[in-house]
Amino acid sequence: MKKALFLSLLSLCTGTMSAQKYTTYLFAFFSNNSPNGEQIRYALSDDAFNYTSLNEGRPVVASDTIALKKSIRDPHIIRAEDGKTFYMVLTDMRSDEGWQSNDGLILMKSTDLIHWQHTAIDFPTRFPEIQEFNADNLHAVWAPQTIWDPVAKKYMIYYSIGRHDIEYPTSDRRFNQPYFKLYYSYANEDFTDISTPKLLFDFGKASIDGDIVYDKANKEYVLFFKDEGRSVINPLGPNGGWRTRQGIMRATSKSVTGPYITEWRHLQKPGQFPVEGSSVFPLIGSDEFILMYDCYANGHYQFCKGNLKDFTYVKDTPTRGTFTPRHGSVIHITDAECKRLEAWSNLSIAVNNAKSAKTENISEQELTKRNSAIEMAEKTLATKSDAKSFDTARKKLEKLVTVK
């Protein structure tokens, strides 16, 4: 009896571990500065360096259904501590309204990576008691990200805030540069609200695009960030005379909430400026990490590999066709999750093809059947979360529609 119980528990544990075996990289990103480009898109990879877009590059979630600004930027996605829930946070922003038009962020929660609960938070409205964050003084709330705080036992959301009351002059005397600092809040249990912002990191000049990773080997948190704005020279330490120049830097702390100590050096491939939007994630089955960042001035992404402290350049990722990523993030997913996303993508593509297919030379009865199949397929996309349902609906639709 005891042996049978032990074998049963072992089987259960083995099955759970097997279910969480990660095989694939999921890249969530936006693609350009147009309203159509400022949407959540997905791409998959088997090796962490080469990605193929899902849904032929079309959005996964329409921005006008989740964002106050009807556009989003900088999607950051994580898997929750329970292993089955996913969180995504995004910048609520429409760039064609200007770089000083953004006052908030978006919180999202999902159990299937397809259907998302969402909440848009406007800082002047949410925190009216903080005068520095009123609509006139707040410059922008940029690039939120999420990490689990094991001490507080809550999800910490951190982001950059620029304010007009702490600006400094640029080389162009007509303009001032907002002094961006990193702040943090804690999400509530439902992931629908955040606590009052607290200062996380003050670089001494503008810093944006924070990305925190826990370094198990050294038992410390590593904050990757972009040295934004005007260039400054570090007069102290071994890197005295070293100049910031809009690159990716590193800071470390024993606590996720800081204080962080800055390392005065850049991590990206030498000579490649400017870059932003770094995202660091582990290679599957390896102790090594990938550092990727957006070479936004050159129109591509760049990938490096290393140990969280030092990185070596690997390659530039081609950005062409349906894969033109801007500031995004990567997580590991299982084979089952990958197949579900691929089945969802295939059905979504089939629906798009069916809607655009020619209707000449088909009977009214055939057209009615086709429209009914499209309607059922759209209902499946909206309500189902399993690969089998997506595949069944796609096959039924493709039998009725021949795209020429």
- Location of structure tokens 């910048």: 91
Tens of pLDDT, residues 155-167:
999 999 999 888 8
170 and 200 share a domain? yes
Instruction: Identify the residue with better confidence: 175 or 15.
Output: 175
Residue 277 structural domain: 23-333
DSSP per residue over 114-154, as a string? SS-EEEEEEHHHH-TT-GGGSTTTEEEEEEEEEEEETTTTE
371 and 244 share a domain? no
What is the rounded distance in angstroms from the CA atom of residue 366 to the CA atom of residue 400? 8
Q: Of 293, 312, 333, which residue sits at a domain end?
A: 333
Identify the three-state secondary structure at position 227: strand
Question: For residue 100, what pLDDT is reported?
Answer: 84
Question: Taking Cα atoms as reference points, which of 382, 383, 381, 384 lies closest to residue 346?
Answer: 381
Confidence of residue 9 (pLDDT cuts 50, 70, 90): very low
User: Is there a domain that residue 9 lies in?
Assistant: no
Question: For residue 173, what pLDDT is reported?
Answer: 61
Give the count of domains, the chain.
2
What is the rounded distance in angstroms from the CA atom of residue 382 to the CA atom of residue 184? 34
267: number of Cβ within 10 Å? 20
266 and 387 share a domain? no
Tens of pLDDT, residues 269-309:
887 678 999 999 999 999 999 999 999 888 889 999 999 99
CATH number of the domain bearing residue 227: 2.115.10.20
Angle between helices 335-356 and 364-383 (to 10 degrees): 150
273 and 131 share a domain? yes
Instruction: Identify the residue with better confidence: 220 or 245.
Output: 220
Q: Write down the pTM of the prediction.
A: 0.92
Question: For residue 171, what pLDDT is reported?
Answer: 63
Determine the average pLDDT of the residues in 199-221. Answer: 96
368 and 317 share a domain? no
Q: What percent of the chain has pLDDT over 70?
A: 92
294 and 383 share a domain? no
Determine the average pLDDT of the residues in 341-358. Answer: 94
123 and 86 share a domain? yes
Side-chain half-sphere CA neighbours of 116 within 13 A: 25
What is the rounded distance in angstroms from the CA atom of residue 97 to the CA atom of residue 35? 10
Determine the average pLDDT of the residues in 83-91. Answer: 98
